[in-house]
């Protein structure tokens, strides 16, 4: 099951998920379209949960910002967020754009990456 086994930060595992979705599309019939739709929903939910679990939103008090920007924890969160966004983008064309776009551009970039960058 995708929701239990897929490491959303792993490019290799995400390639396997992309191949699985491609294979399902090859054999898509009217009877199997609901199963494929269910698989898409599972993949999207796993991406959302993985982003929340592996790269949570962090709020840092203003007096601690300088220390935060130099911390290894910040770099780990940035790297994990980038990895998950990359893996999610590997599923472009396989998952609905109206759900995948907000996940990558909104939840990953605007909410987690952009606020952690320092110019």
Distance between CA atoms of residues 69 and 45, nearest Å = 30
Q: Could you tell me the CA-to-CA distances from 64 to 57, 59, 60, 106 in Å, in that order? A: 16, 10, 6, 25
Among 20-34, 55-69, 103-117, the minimum mean pLDDT is found in 20-34
Q: pLDDT value at position 116?
A: 80
Q: pLDDT value at position 7?
A: 96
Segment 4-49, tens digit of pLDDT: 899 999 999 999 999 999 988 887 666 557 778 889 999 999 999 9
Q: Could you tell me the CA-to-CA distances from 7 to 4, 46, 47 in Å, in that order? A: 9, 9, 9
Task: Name the pTM for this structure.
Answer: 0.89
């Amino acid at each position: 099951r995708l929701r239990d086994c897929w490491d959303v930060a792993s490019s290799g595992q995400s390639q396997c998920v992309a191949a699985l979705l491609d294979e399902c599309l090859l054999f898509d019939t009217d009877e199997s379209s609901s199963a494929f739709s269910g698989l898409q929903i599972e993949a999207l939910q796993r991406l959302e949960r993985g982003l929340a679990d592996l790269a949570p939103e962090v709020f840092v008090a203003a007096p601690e910002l300088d220390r935060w920007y130099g911390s290894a924890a910040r770099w780990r969160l940035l790297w994990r967020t980038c990895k998950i966004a990359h893996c999610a983008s590997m599923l472009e064309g396989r998952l609905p754009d109206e759900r995948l776009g907000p996940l990558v551009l909104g939840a990953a970039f605007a909410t987690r990456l952009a606020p952690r960058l320092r110019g």
